[in-house]
Chain A
Amino acid sequence: MFYREAGDFKTTYADDSQTFPIKFDRYRYWAVLAFAFLVVPFIINDYWLNAVVLPFLIYSVAAIGLNILTGYCGQVSLGSGGFMAVGAYSCYKFMTSFPGMDIFSVILLSGFVTAAVGILFGLPSLRIKGFYLAVATLAAQFFLVWLFNKVPWFYNYSASGQINAPERTVFGYAVTGAETHAWAVYLVALVFVVVLAVVARNLTRGSLGRKWMAIRDMDIAAEIIGVNPMTAKLSAFAISSFYVGVSGAMFFVLYLGAVEVGEAFGIGKSFIILFMVIIGGLGSIFGSFAGAAFMVLMPVLLKNVMVGQLGWATDLAAHFEFVIVGGLIIVFLILEPHGLAQLWRLAKEKLRLWPFPH
């Protein structure tokens, strides 16, 4: 009834190729943005920010990054944790070497550094693919973590090897360090997430995204129709690493504030981001958000229900959490192998017919 193409006439090419062709979707999109920018900052507190919202936003960026590489370009990567570490450590080096730089340029520059590293580790993808590439990116993961542990220059020769984010302000409000306001940190993260998501969405709809998908679906066929596999694969690695690097930088400065590479950016992080992408849906920007929400919210929710509501012992709850989240992942993969994004697509198909399905 409300959700339909009929009656929504497009008179220009720009209108015809817009992101949300259905009017209802457009309104919903603006409503979500308005809520996120105008309502949430007034109600958010430290708990919501640090336990739920901030990890969700940051993992969303990381998941979009990995989705570009794995979901759109078909190159499996297990190095996301390592690339996040590159983002975090370059962010730290920029912040301590150039104290005058503002936080936005620091985070973006960290993304560019990560993109360069990503291209370097993307080179093997020109010769190998599939499982073999996954192993090569796994090597990147272990090498990068080892590097940041081994070379003291990266952590400014501190005794413990930890890096700490110094305080930075935006318009006079602290967004990193100890004296932050929840809303300020939230808004900085939100600006990054919204801009990066819009850019990613449009990249994947444009010629670059089509080249990636051509490579993903069949690389030889893509080459025959004129897609250069080298530029397509390396651009996917570069842009994906840029996103992952930005998320690593945000993870360090906005979220944790103090980071130790082995613990924060270990192989576990790579797997979690890969799970987000698979559960959310390969090749979908919405899926990246859905997957991140699932992996971040589920444990917090389960913990609050089991410990907070039912009063179970904390260790019992923690073990059950593994069982339930693991079980849900398997159930999802069996019932809907295309992830949460596919559920959303089906819901939209049903909405088009609602309330007269026949």
Chain B
Amino acid sequence: MKFTKLAAAAVAAVITAAPVMADLVVPSLSYRTGPYAAGGIPFADGYADYLTLINERDGGVGGEKIKITECETGYNTEKGVECYEATKGDGALVYEPLSTGITYQLIPKATADNIPVHTLGYGRTSAKNGDVFSHVFNYPANYWDGASGMVNYLLETNNNDISGKTIALVYHNSAFGKEPIRTLEELGKKHGFKLTLLPVDHPGQEQKSQWLQIRREKPDYVLMWGWGVMNQVAVQEAANVRFPMENFIGIWWSGADHDVLPAGAAADGYKAVTFHGVGSDFPVYDDIKKYVVDAGKAAGSGDTVGSVLYNRGLYAAMLAVEAIKDAQAATGKSDITAGELRDAMENLEITEARMESLGLGGFGPEFKVTCENHGGDGLVGVAQWDATAKTWSLISDFKPTDSEVIDALIKEDSEAYAKENNIESRCN
């Protein structure tokens, strides 16, 4: 008897997950559990809080309220697929999966379903070539910009000469961590540095052997492509082997407050590249405090406001809202579809004046999306951690990356994808 009841409940529960058409639906494929939750929580909070702010302060976008449907993926691709299928029926406008693995799943699916995917500083780098990846956007910067930005920073601090230096790359052994390898190899040939690869397996708590190798080989610099619990462990291990923190640079996913706090004073001087501003010294935070936090509507436990990844989630939400505004202006109606939003994203232009009007002046670089370029200009800055003040601060402005090397690689990779999947050129 028990089992028939259970089965009936199962059927009932799945049926009731049927689509509900209402408002502007923005799904949030978040992960608040598992080994990557440390990064997933602040990002999801920032994303949700900005959308809540728009609802509370402006009454939605163009009079239409935004409905956030959150779905827990646990950074797991199978759950990600389930979440995608569960939310797309609601009329989902744009996906922000915050996982390179899930992005790879969604690229063909979302393209077929005519729903845009925005991968802010992650995902498949060659998706910058909008000619091939019509529904994937990775503005304002991608992994290869990050890699090149790191090398540029090293060049800058070494009087433009890093030939003969050794650089070790500590990376998460997955699609995410492997992304920069080819770019760094190319840059190594160009600038004459030697690259050592040190993979760290999921979830990243086991790094003793990698750091022993670093202690033995004494590379001049260590770069890191880490995420989740791996970052904290790496910073701690670096401190344990007495690796000078100022020569240790992480990608933007390895540069959050919770990554460096556990190592305490030893983490002082650790650097990470970034493509947006740090801290909560922006006017929009006053509104968030007033309309969202103080009103008790903050997502999660509300203790992540102003952290690095909260800022990034907020930035992603801001870019989504601006694209929705553009789509409404272009179509003349407030209730837009995912396809119309995709067209608007392809013509999105973020200027300093526009960010200023949103209370985010100077928060990110200016960029303009075109049919051929879905990735923006790839301006990358460097932030440094101050362990006594417990703050990140920008030590290098947003600067251009080595487009000569990156563009050639993007062309190569995206054309291989186009050939494998018979994608016709659609721009011009």
- A residues lining the B interface (CB < 8 Å): 46-52, 55, 96, 149, 158-162, 164, 166-167, 177-179, 255-260, 262-264, 266, 297, 300-301, 303-305, 307-309, 313-315, 317-319
Instruction: Given the known inter-chain contacts A51-B82, A149-B199, please indicate yes or no for A314 contacting B30, CB distance below 8 A.
Output: yes
**B82 and A300 contacting across the interface, CB-CB below 8 Å:** yes
In the complex, per-residue mask of B173-185: 1 if CB is within 8 Å of any chain A CB, else 0? 1111011011000
- B residues lining the A interface (CB < 8 Å): 9-10, 13-14, 16-17, 30, 32-33, 37, 41, 70-72, 74, 76-78, 81-82, 85-86, 88-89, 100-101, 104-105, 107-109, 111-112, 124-126, 173-176, 178-179, 181-182, 199, 201-202, 300, 409, 413, 416-417, 420-422
Instruction: Given the known inter-chain contacts A50-B85, A177-B421, A263-B77, please indicate yes or no for A318 contacting B104, CB distance below 8 A.
Output: no
What residues of chain B lie closer than 8 Å to A259, measured between beta carbons?
Answer: 77
Contact of B32 among A161, A263, A308, A318 (CB under 8 A): A318
Q: Please list 19 pairs of residues, one from A and one from B, whose beta carbons are closer than 8 Å in the complex, sorted by A's number.
A: A46-B88, A50-B85, A158-B416, A160-B179, A161-B175, A161-B178, A162-B101, A166-B420, A167-B421, A256-B77, A256-B81, A258-B77, A260-B104, A263-B76, A304-B14, A307-B72, A309-B13, A314-B72, A315-B72
**Cα distance, A72 to B426, chains bound together (Å):** 56
CB of A153, distance to nearest CB on chain B (Å): 15
The winner among B32, B70, B100 for most chain A CB atoms within 10 A is: B32
What residues of chain A lie closer than 8 Å to B33, measured between beta carbons?
Answer: 315, 318-319
**A50 and B13 contacting across the interface, CB-CB below 8 Å:** no
**A304 and B108 contacting across the interface, CB-CB below 8 Å:** no
**A162 and B104 contacting across the interface, CB-CB below 8 Å:** yes
Contact of B175 among A96, A160, A178, A257 (CB under 8 A): A160
**B108 and A177 contacting across the interface, CB-CB below 8 Å:** yes
Instruction: Given the known inter-chain contacts A177-B421, A256-B105, please indicate yes or no for A305 contacting B178, CB distance below 8 A.
Output: no
CB of A63, distance to nearest CB on chain B (Å): 16
**B178 and A164 contacting across the interface, CB-CB below 8 Å:** no
Please give me the residue from chain A that is nearest to B172 by CB atom.
Answer: A262
**Cα distance, A159 to B180, chains bound together (Å):** 8
CB of B146, distance to nearest CB on chain A (Å): 14
What residues of chain A lie closer than 8 Å to B13, measured between beta carbons?
Answer: 301, 304-305, 308-309
What residues of chain B lie closer than 8 Å to A260, measured between beta carbons?
Answer: 77, 101, 104, 174-175
**B124 and A160 contacting across the interface, CB-CB below 8 Å:** yes
Q: A159-B126, A160-B176, A317-B72 known; 10 other A-B pairs, CB under 8 Å? A: A51-B85, A158-B416, A159-B181, A161-B174, A256-B78, A262-B174, A300-B82, A314-B30, A314-B70, A318-B74
What residues of chain B lie closer than 8 Å to A51, measured between beta carbons?
Answer: 81-82, 85-86
**Cα distance, A26 to B13, chains bound together (Å):** 31
**Cα distance, A96 to B300, chains bound together (Å):** 45
**Cα distance, A313 to B125, chains bound together (Å):** 32
**B9 and A262 contacting across the interface, CB-CB below 8 Å:** no
**Cα distance, A309 to B17, chains bound together (Å):** 9
**B100 and A160 contacting across the interface, CB-CB below 8 Å:** yes
CB of A310, distance to nearest CB on chain B (Å): 10
What residues of chain A lie closer than 8 Å to B37, measured between beta carbons?
Answer: 315
CB of B222, distance to nearest CB on chain A (Å): 21
Instruction: Given the known inter-chain contacts A260-B101, A260-B175, please indicate yes or no for A178 contacting B111, CB distance below 8 A.
Output: yes
**Cα distance, A289 to B122, chains bound together (Å):** 38
**B202 and A262 contacting across the interface, CB-CB below 8 Å:** yes
What residues of chain A lie closer than 8 Å to B409, measured between beta carbons?
Answer: 159
**A159 and B421 contacting across the interface, CB-CB below 8 Å:** no
Closest CB pairs A-B (n = 9): A315-B32, A178-B108, A160-B175, A314-B72, A178-B112, A258-B104, A304-B13, A51-B82, A47-B85
Instruction: Given the known inter-chain contacts A256-B77, A318-B32, A318-B72, please indicate yes or no for A263 contacting B108, CB distance below 8 A.
Output: no
**A264 and B77 contacting across the interface, CB-CB below 8 Å:** yes
What residues of chain A lie closer than 8 Å to B78, measured between beta carbons?
Answer: 55, 256, 264
Instruction: Given the known inter-chain contacts A164-B420, A178-B108, A257-B105, please indicate yes or no for A304 contacting B182, CB distance below 8 A.
Output: no
What residues of chain B lie closer than 8 Å to A166, measured between beta carbons?
Answer: 420-421
What residues of chain A lie closer than 8 Å to B100, measured between beta carbons?
Answer: 160
Please give me the residue from chain B that is nearest to A306 by CB atom.
Answer: B13
**A159 and B182 contacting across the interface, CB-CB below 8 Å:** yes
**B89 and A47 contacting across the interface, CB-CB below 8 Å:** yes
**Cα distance, A308 to B18, chains bound together (Å):** 10
CB of B103, distance to nearest CB on chain A (Å): 9
Please give me the residue from chain A that is nearest to B81 by CB atom.
Answer: A50
CB of B108, distance to nearest CB on chain A (Å): 3
CB of B188, distance to nearest CB on chain A (Å): 15
What residues of chain B lie closer than 8 Å to A167, measured between beta carbons?
Answer: 421-422
CB of B22, distance to nearest CB on chain A (Å): 15
**Cα distance, A161 to B108, chains bound together (Å):** 17
CB of A209, distance to nearest CB on chain B (Å): 28
What residues of chain B lie closer than 8 Å to A258, measured between beta carbons?
Answer: 77, 104-105, 107-108
CB of A44, distance to nearest CB on chain B (Å): 12
Please give me the residue from chain B that is nearest to A266 by CB atom.
Answer: B202
Contact of B16 among A47, A178, A304 (CB under 8 A): A304
**Cα distance, A257 to B105, chains bound together (Å):** 7
What residues of chain A lie closer than 8 Å to B10, measured between beta carbons?
Answer: 297, 301
What residues of chain A lie closer than 8 Å to B86, measured between beta carbons?
Answer: 47, 51
**Cα distance, A177 to B107, chains bound together (Å):** 10
Please give me the residue from chain B that is nearest to A269 by CB atom.
Answer: B78
Contact of B17 among A46, A179, A304 (CB under 8 A): A304
**Cα distance, A164 to B133, chains bound together (Å):** 15
**Cα distance, A308 to B14, chains bound together (Å):** 9
CB of A3, distance to nearest CB on chain B (Å): 17
**Cα distance, A302 to B159, chains bound together (Å):** 59
What residues of chain A lie closer than 8 Å to B417, measured between beta carbons?
Answer: 164
Contact of A159 among B88, B89, B179 (CB under 8 A): B179
**Cα distance, A301 to B85, chains bound together (Å):** 15
**Cα distance, A160 to B202, chains bound together (Å):** 15
**Cα distance, A294 to B173, chains bound together (Å):** 31
The winner among A161, A303, A313, A315 for most chain B CB atoms within 10 A is: A315
**Cα distance, A260 to B37, chains bound together (Å):** 20
**A257 and B108 contacting across the interface, CB-CB below 8 Å:** yes
CB of B111, distance to nearest CB on chain A (Å): 6
**Cα distance, A318 to B14, chains bound together (Å):** 17
**Cα distance, A315 to B112, chains bound together (Å):** 30
What residues of chain A lie closer than 8 Å to B81, measured between beta carbons?
Answer: 50-51, 255-256
